[in-house]
Structure 1
Amino acid sequence: MKQSRRQFLKNMSAMAATFAMPNFLIAKSAVAKQENLTEWKISGSHWGAIRAKVINGRVEEIRPFEYDQYPTEMIKGIKGLIYSEARIRYPMVRLDWLKNREKSDKTHRGDNRFVRVTWDEALDLFYQELERIQQNYGPWALHTGNVGWRSTGQFHSCGNHMIRAIGMHGRSVSTAGDYSTGAGQTIMPYVLGSTEVYSQGTSWEIILKESENIIFWASDPVKNLQVGWNCETHEAYKYLEQLKQKVEKNAINVISVDPVKTKTQNYLGCKHQYINPQTDVPFMLAIAYVLYTEKLYDEKFIKVYTVGFEKFIPYLLGKTEDKVAKTPEWAEKICGISAQKISEFARMLAGKRTQLIFGWAIQRQQHGEQPYWMGAVLAAMLGQIGLAGGGISYAHHYSSIGVPESGAAMPGAFPLNVDEGQTPKYDNHNYNGYSAIIPVARASDSLLHAGETINFNGQKIVYAPYKMAIFTGCNQWHRHSERNKMKKAFQKLETIVSINYSWTATCRFSDIVLPACTPFERNDIDAYGSYSNRGVIAMQKLIDPLYDSRSDFEIFKELCRRFGKEKEYCRNMDEMEWVEKLYEDCRKENEGKFAMPSFQKFWQIGYVLFPEGKPWVRHADFRDDPELHALGTPSGFIEIYSNKIASFNYENCKGHPMWFEKSERSHGGPKSEQFKFWLQSVHPDKRLHSQLCESKELRDTYSIQDREPLFINPDDAKQLGIAHGDLVRVYNDRGQAIVGAHLSDDYPTGVVRLQEGAWYSPLDEKIGSIDTYGDPNTMTLDIGSSDLAQAVSANTCLVNIEKFNGNAPKPNGFTGPIEVKI
């Protein structure tokens, strides 16, 4: 066949590019066509909407969506996520488990030796294990409560797919609560009538206009608003930009109450009120003491809108059994703030319209219920709950809460539960005396203390000694505390199945590992703005699934096929039929209020945007009429004293907020002589929990010698002989890790930070093995916050630090498994 020289060179160039690129990195369609095809596609993510340039089936460039005026640099990690060395390429089975199944040597879990199998073999093994568990034990032996933050997308919500599919086979043990807000979401319904932590808050526009004081209490919105539950809009940043301008003009008094100088405080240039770690409650109690004794509190508000204040005051004044008045002088010795400053702080709050904005970190500690409860008491004493620019919020750092809702309906999701009228294959309700639900943060305890009974939110929970666990879209070896304890717990399990797109530590400690595709390798639809409801985003498949990965939908449909439920599972619809249905249902619900194009037009355009919503004040209706708009508390009012909680008779969570000493606390607290530093493990700045940690391009922007950075005060580092960039060992009696020293004046002496979500990378599977990358949960404490919430207590953690000497092992957590041929 004749061809021009130009065409010949063009063809040779395309062939050369193809040969230079491994076939597994080229989408299947592009391998077939071998042509220079360039497309721009739209998609969404937790880090915002994007435009992606795709050339010959490979993502070459990522740009922020044009309506995102404050995009995060996290989107630079998307290519690294898709093409990560840590991608799960094929179905894999742990070597010893494949040989011996449930009788395998559990101490080998985590040794990273796996055997490649076909999809049919892997799904057959998965199904056979489900059958064995239900036949030999029953629903108490299967744990399905771990679904995590998931990937974005309403149809491909991985937790929904797993729970629906497994529910069609049989029942299982589920979980209550979550790791983010476990203590807060349990205590607040008793105090303010809802979880509060996931509730829309007073609009930023109103706060900026009406507030005279804004107190960011352990809250860092500039850092945390980069991500959202759905596709994030980042609209809240325009209000933070306006707040910065007001701070510069001294138009609003803004204070950050935190042991460290946060990203928000540095951005705003606002005041910083240092406080010793874990001592917020003594500070708040002393503020309440000043408000009460100096008659600065709103007595009328207390009488009209609250109950139980008279039962709290004796404790505040030291007239109960502890005989300790909660004076500023008493608090000073604990929280590290002078009595004079405490009094001045209280008077400042009372003198002006004050908006309290709490973060989630202070409830992720032992007795984490108390600071949230006491914060509500302060807000009630100030009497500004329900007023524009006043009151309290527990969520303004999350998913652009504070941006007004458009009022538009958002797309639904793939159904979570078994359809009405259907029954599972094994319709067994017998849990053998064990509880069908356990608090999510007590997952390890359930295995290590099987059959024991614990208190939980007014109930008695009997730990189920479950034999099999399924994790999908969830890195349990990121979010749970105390890694060496987890190793012991996981050795109790007979079978662990993980479905994910990257080789997280959870996958390494599993028996059957199934490769899911990333959210950028499938078609979907997502809400644009979790709370603002600003639009709908098309998640167009950027490339075909790499390697041998599949969507969760395809994985679980094939699993259901093995017991004759695949048609019920998918309702006889494929991926695009589901995506179109979710969109059209949304369009129908918005008819007459908001115009939406046909699905075909929408898919071509890639998005629909709705008008901005109207400003709103949280709790305003309750303030206007507390009887007509009663809160969801037992009394309908703000409960400063809870008769319900008091009736539980818990020693560590009584009828009103109190100060409880921690099992370990820095700055003169328990164990502070043995371990010198408080380890703060906050939400990271450049990833979403552990998502994007596998993206080397993004990780290289913050890691030190390929390790997670440990932020430490320069004076502390100098005393330890540590320079910026050195490798250091951080350790306590629970674990140890090698990290890189990042010196910063933002951190006070005695306080260090390791951001959570760092991939656990133990040197080997042995208990006590050093973590080669820097996961803080190697050292954190795994105890319940209290008998009420039984929530995570990760921020109750003390460590020691020393310079690492010798040859440090390379981080080993970002590569695939050791493939064994049999």
Structure 2
Amino acid sequence: MSKGNPEYLNCEVSRRSFLEMGVKGGGALAVASSLSLPFQVNAKSEPALVTRDDGTKVSYSACLVNCGSRCPLKVHTKDGVIVRVDTENGINDAVMGEHQIRPCLRGRSVRWKTYNPDRLKTPMKRIGKRGEGKFVPISWDEATTILADKLRYTIDKYGNEAVYYQYGSGSTGANIQGRSAGKRLLGLMGGFLDQYTTYSTASIGVIEPFLYGSPQASLLSDIRHSDFVLMFGQNIAETRMSGGGQITETFDALRQSGAKVVIVDPRRTDSVSAFNATWLPINPGTDAALVAAMVHTMLTEELIDEAQINRYAVGFDESTLPDSAPANSSYKSYVLGLGADKTVKTPEWASQITGIAPQEIRQLARELTAAKAAWISQGWSAQRASNGEQTAMAIMLLPVITGQFGRPGTNSGNWGGNVSYPLKKLPFKNPVKASIPCFLWADAIMHGSKFTSKNSGLRGAEALSQNIKFIWSYASNVMMNQHSDLNLTHKILEDESQCEFIMVMDNHMTATARYADLLLPDCTSVESNDLVDNSYASGAYHYFIRLQNAIEPLFDNRPSYDVFAEVARKLGIEEQFTEGRDVNGWVEYCYEETRKMNPQSNLPPFAKTDGMGVVDRRLADSSKYVALQDYRSDPQANPLKTPSGKIEIYSERLATIAQEWTLPDPKWDKITPIPEYVPVREGVDGDPELLKKYPLVLTSFHTKGRTHSTYHSVAVLREAVPDTLWINPLDATSRGIQDGDLLEIFNDRGRVRMAAKVTPRIRPGVVSMPQGAWRKTNKDGVDVGGCINTLTTMHPSPLSKGNPQLTNLCEVKKV
């Protein structure tokens, strides 16, 4: 059994040695010019599982992180050590649906992640103050006893709602070896307090059903039928880097259609360059103002068919308003200045807010309405804001008003859709019905017993019975890295009279792991056996992968399922937990159930899948997944799942919520029945006094070198993709800042240090940091690790109680 790091990986990597590895390492990583997008090499005809003459073995694993893709990894080992990571074989790169699912630079660096010096090697318990990161090693017997005893104690004293399963995405896609095993154990103990929504999609996920009744999206491959593409903050070239996923099908579709692309974003992203797009640099959080001004142009220049809008939607004009709605509360009245604010939403009005010139707003409205088939979509950045619901709904309104929905080449205004392979998952049940918005867990430690549906978005119960007392954190760096206002979060967590016990299970000593009371080492995907699907961002291409451990578990690490089975034994529920199966038994069970679920695929018996990697792959026909296609063809025969059966531009449900809910800051928190532009406190037209103190809007972006915080500690990726603060030359010059200078970015919540990237690729007045860097504070409390969430607001969005981390104010100075 392999128990430690290969000697050649037990070191930090210099830039020179990193670049040399790209040339000499035979596939470990690509060098500079190839880092932007997935690797472009020809598929090989080598068999899937081999043992070569030199003793090298090849087996299949996968990259299980939260990029939304699910890339298989062909792992080469010798003497129990990973020597190379390659792409899967594929079938025929010339044919979509048979092409290789190529991992990006992150997945290809999995051996560096596996053998990283910060790997957790043995169970540990805390000996210092919480957060100091002081631990002592303990045995697995002691560790599982502590976990069983603390779990039983918490449930007996406080009830099951006091046990919270923390949101996290470090093992996204894992099945038997993922989050389900822990939830299965907790469910058998009577259940746990769960969460809903995600840190990525809270606002859009909650608001969309008010407009459409249910999620609606076309596949990105349908862009092949488009002649105009409008994307809001959608950076596919950097956030969807898998060669088998949405970036591949978007490129393919654009090559076929030749459509003009316009991207609205505060940054000139790599997607703007990759798609040869027109860039409209917008002030963060102001998209709804842009939409309103575009609609004003469409109305005043008679570019839209209002009768058609009224056929499919309610609330666009006064004639289709529900009886409960006040006069002049339609969206048309709002745009024309007849509503409560008496403000006409002209392009000149919007220009002062968005920073986009009036003529550019008018031109965009004209091009959009003139298109034969316009694709409109949004990434998730715009809705991760204090007014995220308004932004998301406004963008989704554009296809409705322009009639660009329900036909080939059109979309719903949401991100492009995805088809998932029907795969059997490890089953679990949670008897506790209450769940909280995932972003409110820290508040629930302090005030959970006061949570209701009308003040905190509680679901499944009228009120919570108890504050959170026990946190189960598996494969999650949310607690002290991906959450907001980390200095405040630290103060909440260090008070052990509030949350009494924190269990963390992870691969690495992350910022969150340092706050554990009990810290357990987990196996990585290359040390695991599992069965996983294609996740949520492979688009039309869907498949599933059989993972077979390439190496034995390192150090004293154990598979999470085995650990939880031992805890179940000590709690007296082992038989119910395992049902007589070990990990491999569950993999075989889930596979055979998947065979039954997919009789048309003629899948081979489990015994014949050794070494297959990708067991089955399919390509969906995008024409069958056009958003709102059936509804457009016959709205009476195919009503939506809204109360009216139509698209609800004016929502009576939202009007009721606005009257009944208690919002923490009535001055800035707004819920409206139509998608109005609502200024945010920390925005370009926010609190005037705060803007004087902190005149720069701070946003974040996804870096190619990490998936959220996963892969952050891999030195070669930090060398390849260094973290820098993007700042416009105008803002830099006025502060005496030059490219490469060490900066301090600060506001009332904290201070962060990071090098400057002075670039015209970000609009003036806005600065942007890559998200996911691991928090690390010095003796003065300054975050020298570069974690943006030291600075981000914890004040949630009004309706979804969602992540607002892209609406912050700050100032920047040279250190």
Q: TM-score range by the shorter chain?
A: 0.7 to 0.9
Cα distance in 1 for partners of 2:643, 2:472 equals 37
- Asked if 1:302 corresponds to 2:309, the answer is yes
User: Residue by residue, what CA displacement relative to the aligned partner does 1:341-360 show, whole Å, maximum 9, x if unpaired?
Assistant: 22222122111131111111
Q: Who is 1:475 aligned against?
A: 477
Cα distance in 2 for partners of 1:645, 1:520 equals 47
Q: Is the contact between residue 693 and residue 759 of structure 1 (CA under 8 Å) also seen in structure 2?
A: yes
Structure 1 spans left out of the alignment, 5+ residues: 1-16, 23-34, 97-107, 228-232, 424-428, 430-434, 805-822
Closer, same or farther: CA 205–117 of 1 in aligned 2, 3 Å: closer
Q: Is the contact between residue 699 and residue 766 of structure 2 (CA under 8 Å) also seen in structure 1?
A: yes
Q: Who is 1:26 aligned against?
A: none
The alpha carbon displacement at 1:72 in A equals: 1.3
- Asked if 1:736 corresponds to 2:773, the answer is no
Q: Who is 1:781 aligned against?
A: 793
Q: Who is 1:713 aligned against?
A: 728
Cα distance in 1 for partners of 2:685, 2:155 equals 51
Q: Which amino acid aligns with 2:169?
A: G
Alignment of 1:220-369 (within 5 A): 220-226=235-241, 234-242=244-252, 245=255, 251-310=258-317, 311-352=330-371, 353-369=373-389
Alignment of 1:66-85 (within 5 A): 66-67=89-90, 68=100, 70-85=102-117
Alignment of 1:546-625 (within 5 A): 546-591=554-599, 593-616=600-623, 617-625=626-634
Alignment of 1:365-404 (within 5 A): 365-396=385-416, 401=417
Q: Which amino acid aligns with 1:115?
A: V
Q: Who is 1:142 aligned against?
A: 163
The alpha carbon displacement at 1:218 in A equals: 1.0
User: Residue by residue, what CA displacement relative to the aligned partner does 1:704-732 show, whole Å, maximum 9, x if unpaired?
Assistant: xxxx3222223433333333333221111
SS in 2 for 1:569: helix
- Asked if 1:87 corresponds to 2:90, the answer is no
Q: Which amino acid aligns with 2:238?
A: K
Q: Is the contact between residue 367 and residue 653 of structure 1 (CA under 8 Å) also seen in structure 2?
A: no
Q: Which amino acid aligns with 1:478?
A: N
Q: Which amino acid aligns with 2:529?
A: N
Q: Is the contact between residue 170 and residue 710 of structure 2 (CA under 8 Å) also seen in structure 1?
A: no
Cα distance in 2 for partners of 1:505, 1:18 equals 25
Alignment of 1:361-760 (within 5 A): 361-396=381-416, 401=417, 405=419, 410-417=422-429, 436-453=434-451, 455-456=455-456, 464-476=466-478, 477-490=480-493, 491=495, 492-528=498-534, 530=536, 531-532=539-540, 534-591=542-599, 593-616=600-623, 617-648=626-657, 649=659, 652-666=670-684, 670=688, 671-703=690-722, 708-760=723-775
SS in 2 for 1:448: helix
Q: Who is 2:186 aligned against?
A: 166
Q: Give the TM-score of the pair, scaled to structure 1.
A: 0.83
Q: Which amino acid aligns with 1:479?
A: Q
The alpha carbon displacement at 1:486 in A equals: 0.5
The alpha carbon displacement at 1:60 in A equals: 0.9
Q: Is the contact between residue 438 and residue 463 of structure 1 (CA under 8 Å) also seen in structure 2?
A: no
Q: Is the contact between residue 397 and residue 413 of structure 2 (CA under 8 Å) also seen in structure 1?
A: no
SS in 1 for 2:706: coil
The alpha carbon displacement at 1:386 in A equals: 0.4
Q: Is the contact between residue 410 and residue 627 of structure 2 (CA under 8 Å) also seen in structure 1?
A: no
Cα distance in 2 for partners of 1:195, 1:19 equals 50
2:205 to 164, 185, 192: 185
Q: Is the contact between residue 409 and residue 533 of structure 1 (CA under 8 Å) also seen in structure 2?
A: no
Closer, same or farther: CA 640–463 of 1 in aligned 2, 3 Å: farther
Q: Which amino acid aligns with 2:361?
A: I
Q: Is the contact between residue 449 and residue 463 of structure 2 (CA under 8 Å) also seen in structure 1?
A: no
SS in 1 for 2:473: strand
Cα distance in 1 for partners of 2:197, 2:787 equals 23
The alpha carbon displacement at 1:586 in A equals: 1.5
SS in 2 for 1:754: strand
SS in 2 for 1:740: strand
- Asked if 1:202 corresponds to 2:200, the answer is no
Q: Which amino acid aligns with 1:468?
A: F
Closer, same or farther: CA 484–256 of 1 in aligned 2, 3 Å: same
The alpha carbon displacement at 1:241 in A equals: 3.0
Cα distance in 2 for partners of 1:272, 1:364 equals 21
User: Residue by residue, what CA displacement relative to the aligned partner does 1:390-417 show, whole Å, maximum 9, x if unpaired?
Assistant: 2424223xxxx46xx5xx9532111132
User: Residue by residue, what CA displacement relative to the aligned partner does 1:263-289 show, whole Å, maximum 9, x if unpaired?
Assistant: 100112211112122111111111112
Cα distance in 1 for partners of 2:351, 2:8 equals 66
Closer, same or farther: CA 534–323 of 1 in aligned 2, 3 Å: closer
The alpha carbon displacement at 1:36 in A equals: 7.3
The alpha carbon displacement at 1:678 in A equals: 1.7
Closer, same or farther: CA 174–238 of 1 in aligned 2, 3 Å: closer
Q: Is the contact between residue 162 and residue 192 of structure 2 (CA under 8 Å) also seen in structure 1?
A: yes
User: Residue by residue, what CA displacement relative to the aligned partner does 1:605-624 show, whole Å, maximum 9, x if unpaired?
Assistant: 33323342222222111111
Cα distance in 2 for partners of 1:471, 1:18 equals 29
Closer, same or farther: CA 534–447 of 1 in aligned 2, 3 Å: closer
Q: Which amino acid aligns with 2:144?
A: L
Q: Who is 1:796 aligned against?
A: 807
Q: Is the contact between residue 409 and residue 586 of structure 1 (CA under 8 Å) also seen in structure 2?
A: no
Cα distance in 2 for partners of 1:316, 1:236 equals 35
SS in 2 for 1:278: coil
Closer, same or farther: CA 667–721 of 1 in aligned 2, 3 Å: farther
Cα distance in 2 for partners of 1:520, 1:239 equals 28
The alpha carbon displacement at 1:300 in A equals: 2.9
With 214-223 and 750-759 compared, the bigger mean Cα shift is at 750-759
Q: Is the contact between residue 446 and residue 463 of structure 1 (CA under 8 Å) also seen in structure 2?
A: no
Give the paired residue count. 721
The alpha carbon displacement at 1:628 in A equals: 2.5
SS in 1 for 2:770: coil
The alpha carbon displacement at 1:657 in A equals: 1.2
The alpha carbon displacement at 1:441 in A equals: 0.8
Q: Is the contact between residue 298 and residue 304 of structure 2 (CA under 8 Å) also seen in structure 1?
A: yes
Closer, same or farther: CA 246–409 of 1 in aligned 2, 3 Å: closer
With 280-289 and 341-350 compared, the bigger mean Cα shift is at 341-350
Closer, same or farther: CA 470–409 of 1 in aligned 2, 3 Å: closer
The alpha carbon displacement at 1:189 in A equals: 0.6
Cα distance in 2 for partners of 1:114, 1:36 equals 42
Closer, same or farther: CA 338–557 of 1 in aligned 2, 3 Å: same
Q: Which amino acid aligns with 1:486?
A: T
Cα distance in 2 for partners of 1:735, 1:113 equals 24
User: Residue by residue, what CA displacement relative to the aligned partner does 1:495-529 show, whole Å, maximum 9, x if unpaired?
Assistant: 11111111111110111111111111011122246
Cα distance in 2 for partners of 1:585, 1:391 equals 34
Give the superposed CA RMSD: 2.5
The alpha carbon displacement at 1:171 in A equals: 3.0
SS in 2 for 1:742: strand
Closer, same or farther: CA 463–316 of 1 in aligned 2, 3 Å: farther
